[in-house]
């Protein structure tokens, strides 16, 4: 099902998200595939098409996220919510590996999101936007 997103809302999202995936931080230049608009709370679960519920996502993160809003933390085994880029800060839940090539979860939310979205997919180079800083 396709949901209409106005041009002004698309522009607002692209500006806020710096044209990067809000989950893995990749850009279209890295993935060579246009970004998608992800409903953080899916339409299938009564999520609205609004700035507060939309973010840019690379196709890989979007497809693996699907309509999930929560998943299992691989460390604790507990069900936790997925990372919400509109209400949570990326650096509180994730960090780059020392070599800048892998996203590591710092919290249960971060670990669960990395696992569910398969954020370290070797097919797509994400790479730290800061060169491993």
pLDDT at 131: 41
User: For the chain, what is the HEC assignment?
Assistant: CCCCCCHHHHHHHHHHCCCECCCCCCEHHHHCCCCEEEECCCHHHCCCCCHHHEEEECHHHHHHHCCCCEEECCCCCCEEECCCCCCCCHHHHEEECCCCCCEEECCHHHHHHHHHHCCCCCCCCCCCCCCCC
Sites in the chain below the pLDDT cut of 50:
1, 130-133
Q: Report angle CA 6, 37, 129 to the nearest 5 degrees.
A: 125
Q: Are strands 103-105 and 94-96 parallel, antiparallel or unpaired?
A: antiparallel
pLDDT at 48: 95
pLDDT at 130: 47
Domains of the chain: 7-117 (1.10.30)
pLDDT at 100: 87
The model carries a pTM of 0.87
């Amino acid at each position: 099902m396709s949901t209409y997103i106005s041009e002004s809302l698309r522009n607002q999202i692209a500006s806020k998200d710096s044209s990067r995936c809000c989950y893995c931080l990749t850009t279209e230049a890295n993935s060579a595939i246009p970004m998608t608009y992800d409903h953080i709370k899916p339409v299938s679960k009564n999520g609205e098409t609004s700035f507060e519920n939309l973010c840019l996502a690379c196709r890989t993160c979007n497809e693996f996220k699907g309509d999930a809003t929560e998943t299992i933390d691989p460390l604790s085994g507990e069900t936790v919510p997925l990372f919400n880029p509109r209400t949570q800060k990326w650096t509180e839940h994730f960090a780059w590996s020392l070599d800048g090539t892998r996203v590591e979860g710092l919290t249960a939310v971060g670990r669960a999101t990395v696992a569910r979205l398969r954020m370290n997919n070797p097919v797509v180079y994400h790479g730290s936007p800061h060169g491993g800083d």
